[in-house]
Chains A and B, each alone.
Chain A
Amino acid sequence: MTSYARVDFQTDQEVRWCPGCGDYTILASVQNFMANAGIEREKVVFVSGIGCAARFPYYMNVYGMHGIHGRAPAIATGVAITNPDLSVWVVGGDGDLLSIGGNHLIHAIRRNLDLTILLFNNQIYGLTKGQYSPTSEPGKATKSSPAGSIDHAFNPVSLALGAEASFVARTLDMDRKHTTAILQAAHEHRGSAVIEIYQNCNVFNDKAFIQLTGKTERYANRIDLVHGAPIIFGAQKEKAVVWAGGRAEIVDRAAVNPSDIIVHDAHAPDASAAFALSRLSHGPYGPTPIGIFRSVRRPVYDKVLDEEVAMSKAARGDGDLKALVTSLGTWTVD
């Protein structure tokens, strides 16, 4: 295993996010994670779209492409398919990956390409200076919605699960320890791993996640999902999540039988329970689950395609050009 320090993953480029941006914290978490995990730099490719988050590759001393708005999953797909030995990472914001790039995101997830997708969700368009995004709460007043947004918001975790994701998690920029654990799990996962990272935009949408990061609020609202553990939360662990009429519901822990509390199963073959948990909140406005919603194994596109090529070569031998151009039959003129 190669030994690295964080500095090995830093580039000589000046990082140009606004002072106080959550992106700095995420960058540090990712660089530290990669250094500590001993990931070989030359085997890492970061692909991004356009937006604040999408500047990420310029600051990672690995291979990288700063792509086109929304198209990072498509570009990363080409990288992963043709070079399956690489560790391919996609970085984009909520506008990039959920609005202009929504189509590419769901299809990359559906195919289960071996990608780690970091979705920086700050619920606002930052680089274009403050318009509402597909995750902004309805009613949000912005430059492009002075009377309040009338768009219904996406729940990114629900969306990823609906797109058949094999790995979906949510974490917080401020919680570097949690972020690191999620990055580790996603990196070990084979297939598309989607991580929604709640990321604070202190210029255009400050304190959007205060209910989950505030010194007092977080104890009341942060629901930590841990595989195999009952879902309980609150400052005194006084809240629990139970099944009620086919959906997950938050109740007072004291009011229910302990055996009725949902034990989180991230590896359940069916995504229904994970989906129900994702519906506990529709944004960071109250009690909200954090952690790994789902982590299951299913065939990985790039690996299957590689096998197809290998099998074809084994069955038919390496391609021969002369045989190819004569394959439809020939005749000779003397």
Chain B
Amino acid sequence: MDSDHSPVNPVTEAPGAAATNGGVRVDRADRMVIRFAGDSGDGMQLAGNRFTDAAAIFGNDLATLPTFPAEIRAPAGTLPGVSSFQIQIADWDILTPGDRPGVLVAMNPAALKVHLKDLRDGGVLIINKEAFDERNLYKAGFESNPVEDGTLSGYDLHAVPMQTLTKAAVKGTGVSGRAVLRSKNFLALGLILWMFGRDTKVTEAWVAKKFAKLEAVKNANLAALKAGYNYGITTGSFARQIEVSPADLPPGTYTNVNGNAALSWGLIAGAQLAGLPLFYASYPITPASEILHELVRHRNFGVKTFQAEDEIAAAGAALGAAFAGSLSVTGTSGPGLSLKGETISLALMTELPMVIVDVQRGGPSTGLPTKPEQSDLFLAVWGRHGESPLPVLAASSPSDAFEVAIEACRLALKYMTPVILLSDGYIATGSEPWRLPDMDALPDLAAPLASGPNAGDRFLPYLRDIETMARPWAIPGIPGLEHRVGGLEKEEVTGNVSYDPANHQLMTDVRAWKIANIANDIPDVEVDDPDGADLLVLSWGSTFSAVRAGVGNARNQGVSVAYARIRYLSPFPANMATVLSSYRQVLVPELNMGQLSRMIKAEFVTPVLSVNKVEGQPFTATEIADEIMKVMGQ
């Protein structure tokens, strides 16, 4: 089927060189997009994650995009049941999981139906031949078998008898019945590892550890992995391997991490840096639950987790823990943030430190629970009753989530305020190599902890620090600091209940000023603008990777364009107005219908061009580059 003799590699759409390896051609590519697709029970996320680890340890740069249905197991073989995992590996600093795959693994007809349209012309297509029976073809809506009717003639097709191979491989390992075919994802993985010239050691070590207590399963998976790998070596059907060299990344120690894990670690780090115990309260919700799962594993850091009866209780418990002296965090997604609003207002009124993590997903309502979106920005910034300003930060990539989590803790503690940290489904589940920061150089976080009376022999809970305007934090247990806080308006200094009109105005102003002043305590927006562009592309959150890659594409086409990302969405960094006024045009791509755009227009009274998409998928670099070219009239 390999009809590729052109100098441009159809798999990558990039120039490639060829060599041979024992008769098998080896195509060199600077990057490659691979997509594993199958039924949600086929173990595609596992295969994808294992390949990611192998690629990371090999030294490729990479970015991943897992996509799975909202149903745990939609009916087998149907289109809604398809789950996929895309990874781009490269020998250079890539930013996105890629637009269109050059290699597609389709474990059944439904997976082929959903994903074939994305595969590059001439791309490698590996299918599980035996799953293409009449019943599965019917469920996927194929009228005839695409393997036989010529539909796939434009691809480098490999119809692999994965079920027969798996059965043969696992014979004698002790697994039986339906369990036998569960190992077929390892067979597919083994084949892909061979195709990219990776050995199987990293995966074998993982399997041995993961299934240590399930001897038969462990052996079956190892056998299937090996069989897939050997199939690549021995069968004549594969005419080529693909070589993607290690990336020339900055020196350092790297690990591969997804956003939910990095964010969790950032919270643990924040608590350690502040010398406080970490408390995390949450109600299970996609795609934030993994933060709870991650944190519960680290009790030896003094982490206490609490699975509450509902979202409101999680917020309430976090606020109680804040009053009692913990670094308190509650995590959720959009629907949960709606429910936590009243408690966040109380945190704001009582001026207690608290971090609220919102891993955004498609909304409104239950919306697209497993897909990323950035449509909670307004809710985070404005979505509370009363005049209730608070800091809002956004992570822009999986590894960035670590730093932003620490920063959210810093601001919450220093300014005695609730802070909302926005992530999204793409950051949460996607992974990338992370160059580990120097753990000894992380900042010390401080809170205005009270140790004794602050006014003669009295303790005044609203006597503020004159620099930060933060009130003192008196932890229960200290004699002489007994005090009451609550939702009724507080009298400045004493904290007593006050209905005085002038005091309410004063306190409203003070709360607003305290947050606005944070603009002076955060870094300026940094603009990447090598040659004095007229157009600035501004990103926030996870659009970062596609925007930076898209800007790169546009620059390669000779267009001058500047780029910046905003980590602080409320308050904006101090130089925002200057930056915005330095460009003739500002383009803001968002996975919503224009929320940051409107905030910028309202606050800076400046025109903004919006690029909006809510399709449950991140922007591709191409989409961003196309928008840039359109704006530039090219």
Contact = CB atoms under 8 A, between A and B. Distances in A.
A319 B321 contact: no
A79 B317 CA distance: 7
A281 B350 CA distance: 41
Given A13-B496, A103-B310, A331-B56, A82 B326 contact: yes
A259 B300 CA distance: 56
Interface in A71-108: 71, 74-83, 85-86, 103-104, 107
A250 B365 CA distance: 53
B480 A42 contact: yes
A331 B319 CA distance: 40
Nearest to A50: B487
A312 B322 contact: no
A319 B268 contact: yes
A330 B255 contact: yes
Given A13-B496, A321-B268, A107 B476 contact: no
Interface stretch (B172-180, B221-229, B231-239, B244-252): B244-252
A42 B249 CA distance: 55
A4 to B, nearest CB: 12
B279 interface: yes
Contacts of A66: 484-488
Given A308-B299, A309-B304, A321-B268, A331 B484 contact: no
Nearest to B442: A321
A61 B475 CA distance: 15
A328 B316 contact: no
A50 B475 CA distance: 23
A319 B298 contact: yes
B322 A65 contact: no
Contacts of A103: 309-310, 313
Nearest to B330: A78
A47 B56 CA distance: 50
Contact of B436 (A77, A80, A85, A325): A325
A82 B277 contact: yes
B483 interface: yes
A82 B57 CA distance: 40
Contact of B272 (A58, A77, A317, A321): A321
A65 B304 CA distance: 22
Contact of B476 (A60, A83, A328): A83
A257 interface: no
A: interface residue count bin: 35 or more
Contacts of B196: none
Contact of B481 (A42, A79, A321): A42
B324 A41 contact: no
Given A66-B485, A331-B56, A74 B301 contact: no
A75 B487 contact: no
A107 B477 contact: no
B320 A78 contact: yes
A326 interface: yes
A67 B346 contact: yes
Nearest to A76: B320
B254 A331 contact: yes
B318 A78 contact: yes
Interface string A321-334: 11011101111111
A305 interface: yes
A232 interface: no
Contact of B304 (A305, A318, A329): A305
B446 to A, nearest CB: 18
Interface in B252-311: 252-257, 261, 265, 268-269, 272, 277, 279, 281, 298-304, 306, 308-310
B325 interface: yes
A64 interface: yes
Nearest to A87: B476
A293 to B, nearest CB: 24
Contacts of A326: 253, 255, 436
19 contacts: A62-B482, A64-B485, A66-B484, A71-B312, A74-B313, A78-B279, A78-B320, A78-B326, A83-B477, A107-B313, A312-B299, A313-B299, A315-B300, A321-B268, A322-B439, A326-B436, A329-B57, A331-B57, A334-B251
Given A74-B316, A324-B301, 5 more contacts: A66-B485, A68-B316, A68-B487, A71-B343, A104-B313
